[in-house]
Amino acid sequence: MSLYFFRISQGRYSGAADQPYEFANRETAWNELTAVCSDLIGGISKSLQQGAEWQMELLDEAKQPVFRIRLVSEAVG
């Protein structure tokens, strides 16, 4: 079992959880990250400004990124 931390970044704000989560392997950690993101993304996208970025990362025990999911809003044209 490995310990992981969630970190959310939006604009200048970035904060990592103090409480670690324990997952059996990387696949289980990925599945949890996607489940948490799916719970949050509806509310996040409703308030996302043009040209903004929101991201959620799963960090390892050394607080280094393992996985990242990003939501970016862009004006094209």
**What confidence tens digit (pLDDT) does each residue in 42-76 have?**
888 888 888 889 999 999 999 999 999 999 988 88
pLDDT band of 3, cuts 50, 70, 90: very high
Length of the chain: 77
Tally of structural domains, the chain:
1
In this prediction, residue 31 carries a pLDDT of: 97
Q: Is residue 77 included in any domain, yes or no?
A: no
Report whether 30 contacts 60 (CB < 8 A): no
Query: How does DSSP assign the chain, residue by residue?
Result: -EEEEEEEEETTEEEE-SS-EEESSHHHHHHHHHHHHHHHHHHHHHHPPTT-EEEEEEE-TTS-EEEEEEEE-----
The mean-pLDDT minimum among 5-19, 31-45, 49-63 falls in 5-19
28 part of a folded domain? yes
> What span, in angstroms and rounded, lies between the C-alpha atoms of 53 and 45?
10
Range of the domain at 6: 2-72
Q: Is residue 16 a part of any domain in this protein?
A: yes
Q: What is the pLDDT of residue 49?
A: 87
Beta-bridged to residue 14, according to DSSP, are 9
